[in-house]
Amino acid sequence: MLEKVEGFNMNKVIEEFESLTKDPEMVQRKTLKRILEDNASAEYLQSLGLNGRTDPESFKACVPLVTHEELENYICRIVNGDASPILTGKPITTMSLSSGTTRGKPKYVPWNDELFETTMQIYQTSFAFRNREFPIKNGKALSFVYGSKHFKTKGGLAARAATSNVFCSAGYKCGMRALQSQCCSPDEVIFGPDFSQSLYCHLLCGLIFREEVEFVSSTFAHSIVHAFRTFEDVWEELCIDIREGVLTRNVTVPSIRMAMSKLLKPNPELANVIHTKCTGLSNWYGLIPELFPNAKYIFGIMTGSMEPYLKRLRHYAGELPLLTADYGSSEGWIAANVNPKLPPEFATYAVLPQIGYFEFIPLTEPENPKGPQPVGLTEVKVGEEYEIVMTNPAGLYRYKLGDVVKVMGFHNSTPEIKFIRRSNLLLNINIDKNTEKDLQLAVEAAAELLAEEKLEVIDFSSRVDLSKEPGHYVIFWEISGEA
């Protein structure tokens, strides 16, 4: 895989994607065969009576649909140090921490080298289509990425966020260099133990390399918005650091200070430029292109629960295009954004048939008395909604992901999907059911009224309150403004 990354060729990647998506059913069969052969010795698979069969028909007949809860006993054995082939042929040595929990405990998801390879396949495909529309040279990326703190499980396995597992993988830096997407911040900043100090230094590194920054990115849109809200508060301090060539005393982590001292030199001219740019803006509109004149776009996950942050992100972006990143989860990647010019609200994702085996449970009223039966990748229908079922190389077989997607069309013969919601409802009081999108629309409508008072909703959360009759929703707002 690393050889492929080092020899990255945009046209070749696009050609390969076009070829794979012309007959995704065949690719899916090969992908399932590879996953089952690699993990044939796994206790879980052997207990289900596959007996070496790798065809989809036998697989579906023998292997049940499962949720995380139904795999929890197997995963707990791995977490506690059982190195036998439980879910995979090779031992799992690392766990990802999902954003969800299981009965109040962290939700562990197996991670292995094969998942990293699928990550790089998604990155390559997405970058190829992105770079065809918005070409960049050999500049740098201002990437607000953070290697979250990791810990050892009871059995000695490393456990961290899925994104951190990607950043910590041996081939990551090589891959990003090949994709002309090298972060301008040193590792000490990315993996720093203090989020606020790392964020400050990300901003400082971006300013030091402002002429070389060709795009601004983070895993999620919220992180980019938060970074530039922070910039509004600390920009004068950043100018002082650049002018004097000395890092603020507020950054106390020794490794970060040491790394930044190698980058930071007195530069009064740069400090004056930044000061002039900031004081010349109206309410920080167009901040990002003013600070980074060679930036081509802003990149990150901007759909689903990230949509509420688009308004503020567009304010900072000015005329710079917003490009939403690809579609995946802690359990693995699913699809790439191969139409990067579409606004995030209309973004679709083309499923990559070689990175996992995918099934789709229709959400329409079932005709089958047994309930809705999953269909294959090429059997989905445009306009219909489905829950995704994933089989990946890291020990998840027919795993119900919990995401609901809508099929918007096809790229060749692979579906282009749009994320709709999580399958479990966000709010539910008696028969009054509301999704995350419903909540977002309500907050946006109320925010318009607040705008008349020069107030702005920065963020929000919610909960169900059943302590009084009738039950109702409580919505918490974080507000900024003059009042």
Residue 24 lies inside a defined structural domain of this protein:
yes
Residue 2 confidence (pLDDT): 39
Say if residues 219 and 301 touch (Cβ distance below 8 Å).
Answer: yes
For the chain, what percent of residues have pLDDT higher than 90?
65
Residue 70 confidence (pLDDT): 93
Please check whether residues 72 and 168 belong to one and the same domain.
no
Please check whether residues 338 and 376 belong to one and the same domain.
yes
For the chain, what percent of residues have pLDDT higher than 70?
82
Please give the mean pLDDT across all residues of the chain: 87
Per-residue pLDDT at 181 exceeds 90: no
Contacts of residue 251, defined as CB under 8 A and 6 or more positions apart, other chains included, come to 197, 200, 201, 257, 260
Of the three residues 267, 301, 320, the one that is the final residue of a domain is: 320
Range of the domain at 354: 10-113+327-422
Residue 162 confidence (pLDDT): 81
Per-residue pLDDT at 170 exceeds 90: no
Residue 458 confidence (pLDDT): 62
Please check whether residues 270 and 407 belong to one and the same domain.
no
Residue 171 confidence (pLDDT): 75
Of the three residues 288, 320, 352, the one that is the final residue of a domain is: 320
Please check whether residues 393 and 451 belong to one and the same domain.
no
Per-residue pLDDT tens for 232-276? 999 999 999 999 999 999 999 999 999 999 999 999 999 999 999
Residue 432 confidence (pLDDT): 52
Residue 205 lies inside a defined structural domain of this protein:
yes
Using DSSP's 3-state secondary structure scheme, residue 192 falls into coil
Residue 1 confidence (pLDDT): 37
Please check whether residues 232 and 307 belong to one and the same domain.
yes
Please check whether residues 279 and 348 belong to one and the same domain.
no
For 313-355, the DSSP string reads HHHHHTTSPEEE--EEETTEEEEE---TTS-GGG--EEE-TTS
What are 45's two structure tokens?
């698979």
pTM flag (> 0.95): no
Say if residues 389 and 361 touch (Cβ distance below 8 Å).
Answer: yes
Please check whether residues 94 and 204 belong to one and the same domain.
no
Residue 255 confidence (pLDDT): 96
Question: How does residue 129 score in pLDDT terms, banded at 50, 70 and 90?
Answer: very high
Residue 394 lies inside a defined structural domain of this protein:
yes
Burial (CB count <10 Å: 0-12, 13-18, 19+), residue 10: middle
Please check whether residues 440 and 417 belong to one and the same domain.
no
Q: What is the distance between the alpha carbons of residues 184 and 80, in angstroms, rounded to a whole number? A: 38
Please check whether residues 415 and 439 belong to one and the same domain.
no
Residue 277 confidence (pLDDT): 97
| Higher per-residue pLDDT: 143 or 441 | 143
Say if residues 238 and 274 touch (Cβ distance below 8 Å).
Answer: yes
Per-residue pLDDT tens for 311-345? 999 999 999 999 999 999 889 999 999 999 999 99
Residue 457 confidence (pLDDT): 64
Please check whether residues 194 and 294 belong to one and the same domain.
yes
Residue 23 lies inside a defined structural domain of this protein:
yes
Residue 196 lies inside a defined structural domain of this protein:
yes
Alpha-carbon distances of 266 from 241, 242, 245, 247, rounded to whole Å: 8, 6, 4, 10
Q: For residue 300, give the nearest of 218, 186, 422, 182 by alpha carbon.
A: 218
Question: How does residue 9 score in pLDDT terms, banded at 50, 70 and 90?
Answer: confident
Question: How does residue 102 score in pLDDT terms, banded at 50, 70 and 90?
Answer: very low
Q: What is the mean pLDDT of residues 444-465?
A: 60
Q: Which helix (H) or strand (E) holds 387?
A: strand 385-391
| Higher per-residue pLDDT: 373 or 479 | 373
Per-residue pLDDT tens for 264-304? 999 999 999 999 999 999 999 999 999 999 999 999 999 98
Residue 161 confidence (pLDDT): 84
Per-residue pLDDT tens for 187-209? 999 999 999 999 999 999 999 99
Of the three residues 269, 300, 320, the one that is the final residue of a domain is: 320
Q: For residue 481, give the nearest of 456, 460, 458, 447 by alpha carbon.
A: 456
The total number of structural domains that make up the chain: 3
Please check whether residues 146 and 274 belong to one and the same domain.
yes
Q: For residue 452, give the nearest of 427, 482, 432 by alpha carbon.
A: 482
Per-residue pLDDT at 410 exceeds 80: yes
| Higher per-residue pLDDT: 98 or 226 | 226
Residue 449 confidence (pLDDT): 59
Residue 63 confidence (pLDDT): 95
Per-residue pLDDT tens for 207-220? 999 999 999 999 99
Please check whether residues 180 and 285 belong to one and the same domain.
yes
Residue 150 confidence (pLDDT): 76
Per-residue pLDDT at 483 exceeds 50: no
Residue 130 lies inside a defined structural domain of this protein:
no
